[in-house]
Amino acid sequence: MKKKDKYKLIGASLYKASKSNERAKIEKIWCKYTESCPLLKENLCLLNCIFGKCQYGYITRNESGSTKRGRAYHNFVKEQEEKFKTGELFRPPEGYYKKCIVLIGDYFYLPYAHMNHKDGKNKIPFLSHSAVFVSGSNFMKKDDLTPEVVCEIVKLKPQALMGGEITSYQKEELPRFLFHLKYLFPDLFNAAVKIMPGIKGRVLSIDEHKDLECTLEDIPIGQKDGYVLSKNLKVEEWDGKKIVIIGEFSDYPFFFAKFSAKDKIKMIFNPVKKKTIVFVKDNELKKKVAIQNPQLIN
C-alpha cells in the first residue's frame, strides 16, 4: 500500500448506477509529482483513462454499501455530491495524454504501439514488456534512453502472436516516434543519427500526413490560408483576438439558411476562444505548426 501522505488528490469522479442492481462508485486520482508534472500543467493525466498507468500516481475506488434499491446507495451519493459542492472533491484533469514521448521526472513515457512488445530480440529497457494478456509498461528510466537504445527502437520488428512481423510498427509508429524525438529531444536524436545515419530518412513526412488537428492558438497570428474550422469554414482573418470566417451556402445549406444567406456569409467572432479546433490542410503550414508542437502528431 502506498504511503498516502506523499500523494495529493488531483481529481475525483462519481459514477451513479444506471440499473437498479448496480452500485455507485467514487474514483479518486492520487499523484506525488503534482508540482512538476508537465502533463498536469496542461490539465492532462495518464490516469484519466480506464487502462492508464503512471509511475507517480494511482487510483482508489470505493462503492456504495448497497445497490440503487437501498438507502445506503442514496446516502453514499448524497455524501459525495456534498463533498463536490464544498470543494473537498473536484473534477480530475480534463484529458488523457496523446501518444507522444514525454519526460516525467526520472522517467520517459513512450506510448507507441508494440514498442514494448516482449520479444527475444527486444533490447529496449522498458520497466516491463507486454505479452499475452499483459500490457507491460510504457515507462523507461531517463538514463536508460541512450542513443544506442534509440537505434534498438529503430531496428525493432515486433512479431505477432501467430507469427509474422507487426508491420504497422515500422510503417507508422516508428516514423512518428522519430518525428517527436527529432523536435522534442534533438540532442538525443542527433546522437543516434551519428550511430545510425539512416535514421534521418525514417522520420515521418508531414507531406504524407493527414490534415493536422490543432487549436487556434497553435496557428501563427495573421495566417489566413491553409486551415479551416471544424466545418471546413474558410478563415479570412485571424489577428489573435478576432477571427473572420466565410462559408458557401451550397456547402452548408441548413447552416446558412437560418441566416437567410443565399450565396455566402461572413461571420466575425470577437473575442474568440483560442482552444477552438481547426484543421490544417496546407503542407507548409502543417510543417510549421507540427515542428513547433510535435505532440500534435499522433
Indicate whether 109 belongs to any domain: yes
Least confident of 64-78, 103-117, 146-160, 261-275: 261-275
Indicate whether 91 belongs to any domain: no
Is residue 278 domain-shared with residue 228, that is, in the same domain? yes
Q: How distant, in Å, are the alpha carbons of 5, 147, 193, 215 from that of 143?
A: 28, 11, 18, 34
pLDDT of residue 118: 85
Biggest alpha carbon–alpha carbon distance for the chain: 68
86 has pLDDT over 70 = yes
pLDDT of residue 222: 87
Is residue 51 domain-shared with residue 126, that is, in the same domain? no
Indicate whether 156 belongs to any domain: yes
Span 6-27, pLDDT tens digits: 899 999 999 999 999 999 999 9
In terms of pLDDT, which residue wins out, 259 or 114? 114
Please give the distance of CA 240 from its chain centroid, rounded to a whole number.
25
Cβ-based neighbours of 210, under 8 Å, separated by 6 or more: none
Considering the entire predicted model, what is its pTM? 0.85
Span 198-253, pLDDT tens digits: 999 999 998 878 889 998 889 998 888 888 887 677 888 888 888 888 776 555 55
* % of the chain residues with pLDDT over 90: 62
Span 138-171, pLDDT tens digits: 999 999 999 999 999 999 999 887 778 999 999 9
The x, y and z cell numbers of residue 47, run together, are 490516469
Nearest alpha carbon to residue 64 among 85, 84, 43, 79: 79
Domain ranges, residue 221: 212-296
Indicate whether 217 belongs to any domain: yes
Distance CA 179, CA 237 (A): 30
Span 249-290, pLDDT tens digits: 555 555 555 555 555 666 677 667 778 888 998 999 999 999
- Domain end (from 59, 86, 113): 86
Is residue 168 domain-shared with residue 197, that is, in the same domain? yes
How many domains in the chain?
3
pLDDT of residue 121: 80
Indicate whether 276 belongs to any domain: yes
- Domain end (from 204, 233, 257): 204
Cβ-based neighbours of 155, under 8 Å, separated by 6 or more: none
pLDDT of residue 1: 42
Q: How confident is the model at residue 182 (pLDDT cuts 50, 70, 90)?
A: very high
Is residue 110 domain-shared with residue 156, that is, in the same domain? yes
Length of the chain, please? 298
Q: How confident is the model at residue 99 (pLDDT cuts 50, 70, 90)?
A: confident
